[in-house]
Structure 1
Amino acid sequence: MSLSTGTSVHTAPTASTWRAEQVVGSHLFKIEEYSTARNTEKGNFLESDTFNVGGYDWSIKYFPSGTMVAEDDHASIFICLKSPVDYVQAEITLEILVNQNGNMLSQGQLSAFATFKSITDTSDCGYSNFVRRSELESVLNDNSVGFKCSVCVSKVLPVESDFPLPVPPPIALQQISNLLETGIGADVTFEVNGHTFKAHKSILVARSKVFEAQFSGPCKEKTDTIIKIEDMEAVVFKELLHYIYSETIPAFSEMNDSEEKNNLAQHLLVAADRYDVERLRIICEDILYGSINKDNVVALLSIADMHNCINLKTACFKFLATPGIIPQLFESGKLKLIP
């Protein structure tokens, strides 16, 4: 038996990374006039205000006379997850603070690692026998006590590619780019919002299927030496021509303001898609991919959807899945419900 020989096909290596992050926060629940609170019936609790850690809402429940299953002379305390979730892991630390000479001092703490599977399942974590009531009351100086809850939420981030969007390598166009600067042999002029740009039909046809159809197809404009473009900014068309001739975007290297650069990238992406300059479209998509924030995600999602930018669209949806982002966008008016 012999092994057949043939052509080997090699694909580019790929890689991805799993990451997790921890978000830490704390809340102090202070109870004044504790002598009144201690008379609360067994099984009843006092609850703190809601606080947010890691994008989830929490509260502290303190049972001065203990839960129904607590031992006699014991108070109980629990941290309650109030947000509807499928799965959350958190480390909970509960600490007693009492006032001694004007300073809140710790009288002991307990820690536990908890998994919250749903709001209707395991939504509380704490201790039925947290502290002996008699021992706690013996250290109170001003009839008040504080319970500090620290929450460390472990969040698994989406698996991401370790490589940027694939951008084909540039080609040598230095000599061709000189023709744009000198205008030698130009046979077409574009008028864009009061600005004129001389170009060469043969180069445009070679670099863009849209220009190929415009100058060489059935609807060719061979006799037209002046073409007006009214629905594009002059600076955008200028950079489009520069890229067609030289595979470079001069304006990007001159811009220090990232917002200004992102704005130009949005307009260039639209122009590149319009004239079917695929590599320029991918370059602009790659720039916008790394600039997504709550101020531009809605606009970028619209652009990605209109111009078939799959990677940018996926990144926008991933950003929108961040806890708390959607309510912020509705509050700011960037997202609105369609009646």
Structure 2
Amino acid sequence: MPPTAGGGGGPSGSASAIVADTASGYHVLRIDAYSRTTETPTGEYLKSLPFTVGGHRWCIHYYPNGNRSEAKDYISLYLHLDESVTKAVKAQLKFRFVGDVEGQAVTLEEVRSYNSQTGWGNPEFIKREDLDGSKHLRGDSFAVRCDVVVTGEFHAEEAPEVTILASVSVPSSELHKHLGDLLLTEKGADVLFDVAGQTFAAHRCVLAARSPVFSAELYGVMKESDTGGVVHIEDMEARVFKALLYFVYTDLFPAKEEGEGEQDGDVLSQHLLVAADRYNLERLKLLCEKKLCDYIDVGTVATILALAEQHHCHGLKKVCFDFLSSPANLKAVVASDGFKHLTRSCPSVMEELIIMLAN
């Protein structure tokens, strides 16, 4: 027996939707002898043949010199309801050049209400001087397409019941954490680096996958040949190489260590940028650039600008130039020792700076 209201069966369900009937269509209007149509006075239009969309008769009004004085330098296009109606017709439209239709999704304008013999459109469809030099004007002729969507009355209708399916929750990736733990525990490490007397264990395959320079050094023609299997890194501080390895394994910028001040972070970011450039780690290089942008001031900008020039950091260089565009900042920087060093080491930057100030 079917369950009753007081029984143990589940609730019955149903669904409906509020919808509106729509009808769509388009009309192409070709303007031949365009130059002659420009003799039409502002506010006067030329009319297309009538066409039907959604059971209503429409036409296009083409104003060669704009539909009003404010638009006299433009071509105006309007969709006109070419009939009498007892109730406003709701419609959307879009005017486009025929050459722009293919491969381009149409984005209709907002819904408008059309009463008897009224129109809506684009008073500034295109400036005449822009049309004269465009690809759309060929042989003194161009064509436009008007897409029309007519919206009927809203009504309710039955709809399939919406069933909310259970979902599967996917946790965030912990790959960076796992690889970071691998670096920390040194499990399976197969290469040792000696940096300023401090040793670091790592994994050749991880380093080679992340850096083409490491790949060449560890697997290519530059493969380490020391009998002890230790790779000696010259011209780099141990803490910089440690930070470099942290990024290689985790893809994260190393966190500030306990007791480290702002100046330490500035210096580390500078050295780490040099290391990132050396090992072709572009993302780390950009992260260093972003960090250094926060450290730019009167005392550091000359040094950071020289660094940006030497390592082709275009974004960082621009931020430095923006800082120096302030007369007060520039006056203070010119008096610094860092500026004297910049003048000697990067004369090309000085030339760019002079040009920027001249402009």
TM-score tier (shorter) = 0.3 to 0.5
Report the TM-score, using the length of structure 1 for normalisation: 0.47
Q: Which has the higher helix share?
A: 2
Name the structure with the higher strand share. 1
Q: Which has the larger radius of gyration?
A: 2
Using the size of structure 2 for normalisation, the TM-score is 0.45
